[in-house]
Chains A and B, each alone.
Chain A
Amino acid sequence: MPIVKLYANLRKLAGTKELIVTESTIGAVLNELVKQNPPLGDVILENGKLRQHIVITLNGHNAVDLNVEVNEQDIVAIFPPIAGG
């Protein structure tokens, strides 16, 4: 099963660092995630679309297309707005 990893303040909102989700698409994974953890909704999505500055990677590669398939063994990482240097 694919794994979703959460970072920074998303962990506090979800009460966990990672979750198991069903195989689907990035968009469907996000919807499932928000359904399981409603507090994440306002942080990640805005009117069903990704909020500005949210970074999602699929196996370490930036995922910008929410229709991309998420398969068995895949790791989806979600980062809230972060900065530094």
Chain B
Amino acid sequence: MAGWSEKVLDIDLNNKTYRTYPLDMEISRLFIGGRGLGARLLWDMVGPEVDALAPENVLIFTNGPLTATGYQTSNRFSVTTKSPLTGTVLDANSGGFWGMQFKKAGYDVMIVRGKSEKPVWIEIKNDVIAFHDASELWGMRVFALTEKLGQNNNKRNVLCIGPAGENLSRIASIMNDRERALARGGPGAVMGSKNLKAIVVEGKDRTEINDPEQFKFLLYETRKLLAASPLTSQALPEFGTVVLMNIMNNIGALATRNHQQTQFEGAEAISGEELTEKYLVKNSSCWACPIGCTRISKTDKAEGEGPEFESTWAFGAQCGIDDLPAIIEANMLCNDLGLDTISAGSTIACAMEMSENGYLDSDLRFGRADQLAPTLEAIAHRKDVGADLADGSLRLGTKYGHPELSMSAKGMEMPAYDPRGMQGQGLLYATSNRGGCHMRGNMVGPEVLGLPKLIDRFQVQGKSSFVTLHQNSSAAIDSLVICKFTNMGVADEYFARVLSAVTGIQYDTGEMIRVGERVWNLERMYNLREGFTSKDDTLPPRLLNDAPTDGPSKGWVVKLEPMLKEYYRGRGWDENGVPTPKKLADLGLAGL
């Protein structure tokens, strides 16, 4: 069928063998690709009896029917696994070039099972799969390894882990194309647990398109729409994502010093405006992306991609640090070590608060920019205080008797938006299937930026329907799988038309959102099977009980309970947050 390669590559590292077999096209029609397809496959393969770092856990790499077609931002791919950080279903997706090359190698899905006895790296050239000894590569950092294995953006692409993944840090990322990250939830630790250092792909296949004329027309229209939108043609290219720093601070929703405050006096010094004026070298972009939001930044010590808004916040406001060069360098160091910047920054912030209160024996203190780099090295190598921080803030806080100081949901560190100033964002974090995350829907659009329309950010009643809509839409886009920024210039309707033109299956906007709802409910069922309950749909006590004492969010806490009740009802779940048999049947998920 056009769009999909209809082929699965299934690798067993226990004995370094592989097999290929046809992709189940009925499952693909229902879940498309990317996150949705990954979740559906994980459901069958990894149950509650499997520890996330055991050989029985799997890494499922997926692309989608649009991948490598040349449609705008059709470069992304996903990895799905059980998270070693949260214990939930985890998918993380990334841009760059590797996803395009993986599709050109002729596969929709690559499953990696088992554990190699010795370090190994895998080389894929379409039907030729080779296993290479990686003993001499073990310990290498991401940048040097990527170069050594022959990264060439349009021809040969490298995906790998750094020291953090090797040392099983539960906040380790998988990196691709040098500085792109499958970042959140610790997929790098799963790869490290398998003694798998890298996967290199070269491909030569072309994705078949069912209706090339219609596809060409939609490419043209999408190009015009992205060029006409001030968000995708001006805002993102000119200032990058860090431009959000000042507005989040202005409205009092910028989490500061481990969420002790909601405004940071140093926000201007770490803003997108400052980054652009003093440290920007040039813009860059992923494959087939006309937006080009990537920043190439340079300090006296380093030059490379980033930082994005969330990374700048994590090492900046969250740690009380206003030294932008140090933040830029910390971001690049995370990429080189293979660490998730959000979880790393927020875990350090948690440790800073614990240390200042005497709960942790370390000299970590808010505002100490000089402590960032050595602490990141310690985390990645599990040395000194880093041995505890490597497992994330919740395990750190729990070990020393203060889990309440972990600013996480389901164990995943939350990003920059303080939900006391954005009620919908609070509900979103609490109900996200992979934990505290802004990429499973994000209420910054409607609650702050007026995208598509402004709603009252403090409003509680009725907010759950917006959250549900954003979560479903996000799951659908992640299953295509393309960049969410495209959605700022192009309506959901277009994605359905493009998917129809590529595959020949008629999808409309309603069906696309239904795909998203199906994926969301499947992920929910996975987590329930793992033992999660409605009690886990919550936030740190600080956000539920301690109102900011000044700023625009003064006096507000997250009013979670009424939103949660409304949310369960609106989703067609029972009062305990369990999808009803009728809801599952309506979504084609009967029997789960």
Tell whether, in the assembled complex, residue B454 and residue A84 are in contact, meaning their CB atoms are under 8 Å apart: no
Query: How would residues 289 to 325 of chain B score, 1 for a CB under 8 Å from any chain A CB and 0 otherwise?
Result: 0000100000000000000111000000000000000
- CB-based contact B252/A60 at 8 Å: yes
CB of A55 within 8 Å of the partner chain: yes
Cross-interface CB contact of A81 among B235, B309, B310, B438, cutoff 8 Å:
B235
Given contacts A8-B239, A53-B451, A55-B449, are A85 and B250 in contact (CB under 8 A)?
A: no
Closest to A61 in B: B552
Q: Which residue of chain A has the shortest Cβ distance to B458 in the bound complex?
A: A61
B235 close to A83 (CB less than 8 A): yes
User: Contacts A7-B273, A83-B449, A83-B451 known; A55 to B235 CB distance under 8 Å?
Assistant: no
Q: Which residues of A contact B158 (CB under 8 A)?
A: none
**B448 and A9: CB pair below 8 A?**
no
CB A50 to nearest CB in B, in angstroms, measures: 10
Q: Please, which residues of chain A bring their CB within 8 A of the CB of B246?
A: 7, 79
| Interface check B547, CB cutoff 8 A | no
Interface centre among A9, A53, A81 (most CB of B within 10 A): A81
* B440-484 interface bits toward A, Cβ cutoff 8 Å, 1 = contact, 0 = none: 001010001111001001000000000000000000000000001
Give every chain B residue within 8 A of A80 (Cβ-Cβ). Answer: 230, 234-235
Listed residue (B236, B309, B449) with the most chain A CB atoms within 10 angstroms of its CB:
B449
Known contacts A84-B240, A84-B241, A85-B438; decide if A55 and B450 are in contact (CB<8 Å).
yes
Question: Closest residue to B438 on the A side, CB-wise?
Answer: A85
- Smallest distance from the beta carbon of A3 to chain B beta carbons, Å? 12
Most buried by A among B250, B252, B457, B552: B250
Give the contacts of A1-43 with B (CB-CB under 8 A): 5, 7-9, 11
CB <8 Å contact, A82 and B251: no
Q: For the complex, is A59 an interface residue (Cβ under 8 Å from B)?
A: yes
- A8-B251 in contact (CB<8A): no
Shortest distance from the beta carbon of A33 to any chain B beta carbon, whole Å: 17
- Binary CB contact string for chain A from 61 to 85 against chain B (1 if under 8 A, 0 otherwise): 1101000000000000101111111
Between A55, A81, A83, A85, the greatest number of chain B beta carbons within 10 A of the residue's beta carbon is seen for: A83
Task: Tell me which residues from 226 to 277 in chain B have a Cβ below 8 Å from any Cβ of chain A.
Answer: 230-232, 234-236, 238-244, 246-247, 250-252, 272-273
Contact status of A82 and B239, CB under 8 A, knowing A53-B230, A53-B450, A61-B552: yes
Are B231 and A83 neighbours in the complex by a CB distance under 8 Å?
yes
A64 to chain B minimum Cβ distance, whole angstroms, is: 6
Question: How long is the Cα–Cα vector from A28 to B587 in the complex, in angstroms?
Answer: 52
Q: A8 touching B454 by the CB < 8 A rule? A: no
Q: Does B488 contact A (CB under 8 A)?
A: yes
Closest beta carbon of chain B to A71's beta carbon, Å: 16
- The verdict on B485 contacting chain A, using a C-beta distance below 8 Å, is yes
Do B250 and A57 touch across chains, with their CB atoms under 8 A apart? yes
Asked if B252 contacts A8 (CB within 8 A), the reply is no
* Pair A7/B438 contact, Cβ less than 8 Å: no
Contact of A85 (CB < 8 Å), options: B442, B457, B551: B442
B466 smallest CB distance to A (angstroms): 16
Known: A8-B272, A60-B551. A55 touches B238 (CB 8 A): no
Q: Closest Cβ of chain B: how far from A61's Cβ, in Å?
A: 6
Structural contact, A53 and B552, CB atoms closer than 8 A: no
B447 (CB) vs chain A CBs: closest residue: A62
State whether A57 and B272 are in contact (beta carbons under 8 Å apart), knowing that A8-B235, A80-B235, A84-B243 are contacts in the complex. Answer: no
Tell whether B288 is near chain A: CB-to-CB under 8 Å.
no
The residue of chain B having its C-beta at the shortest distance from the C-beta of A54 within the complex is B450
Given A84-B242, A85-B438, answer yes or no on A62-B247 (Cβ-Cβ < 8 Å). Answer: no
What's the least CB distance linking A4 to chain B, in Å?
Answer: 13
Q: When the two chains form their complex, are residues A60 and B243 in contact, meaning their CB atoms are under 8 A apart?
A: no
Is there contact, CB below 8 Å, between B438 and A82? Answer: no
Give Cα A61 to B243, complex, Å.
18
| Closest A residue by C-beta to B291 | A83
B231 / chain A contacts, CB cutoff of 8 Å: 53, 81-83
Do the beta carbons of B309 and A84 come within 8 Å of each other? Answer: yes
- Alpha-carbon distance between A52 and B444 when the two chains are bound, in angstroms: 16
B137 interface residue per 8 A CB criterion: no
B439: CB under 8 A from chain A? yes
Chain B neighbourhood of A8, CB < 8 A:
235, 238-239, 243, 272-273
Q: Which residue of A lies closest to B551 (CB)?
A: A60
Chain A residue with minimal CB distance to B244? A84
Are A9 and B451 neighbours in the complex by a CB distance under 8 Å? Answer: no
Bound-complex Cα distance A62 to B248 (A): 12
Specify which chain B residues have a CB less than 8 angstroms from the CB of A81 in the assembled complex: 230-231, 234-235
Cα distance A65–B345 when bound, in Å?
A: 38
Do the beta carbons of A9 and B247 come within 8 Å of each other? Answer: no
- Identify the closest chain A residue to B310 (Cβ): A85
Bound Cα distance from A61 to B247, whole angstroms: 11
**Contact A83-B273, Cβ < 8 Å, known A7-B247, A8-B239, A60-B252:** no
- Please determine whether A60 and B449 come into contact, CB atoms closer than 8 angstroms: no
Q: Give the distance in Å from the alpha carbon of A64 to the alpha carbon of B244 in the complex.
A: 19
Q: Which residues of B contact A77 (CB under 8 A)?
A: 247, 250
Which residues of the partner chain A approach B551 to less than 8 Å between Cβ atoms?
60
Q: What chain A residues lie within 8 Å of B235 (beta carbons)?
A: 8, 80-83
B309 touches A82 (CB 8 A): no
**What chain B residues lie within 8 Å of A55 (beta carbons)?**
247, 448-450
B44-71 vs A, Cβ < 8 Å mask (1 yes, 0 no): 0000000000000000000000000000
Chain B residues packing against A (C-beta within 8 Å): 230-232, 234-236, 238-244, 246-247, 250-252, 272-273, 293, 308-310, 438-439, 442, 444, 448-451, 454, 457, 484-485, 488, 551-552
A-B contact pairs, 23 of them (CB 8 A): A5-B250, A7-B246, A8-B235, A8-B243, A11-B273, A53-B449, A53-B450, A57-B247, A59-B552, A60-B250, A64-B454, A77-B247, A79-B246, A80-B234, A82-B449, A83-B244, A83-B449, A83-B485, A84-B272, A84-B309, A85-B309, A85-B438, A85-B485
Contacts beyond the supplied A9-B238, A84-B244: 18 A-B pairs with Cβ under 8 Å: A7-B273, A8-B239, A8-B272, A11-B273, A55-B448, A57-B250, A57-B552, A61-B552, A64-B454, A80-B230, A81-B230, A81-B231, A83-B232, A83-B241, A83-B485, A84-B293, A85-B244, A85-B484
Interface residue ranges, A against B (CB under 8 Å): 5, 7-9, 11, 53, 55, 57, 59-62, 64, 77, 79-85
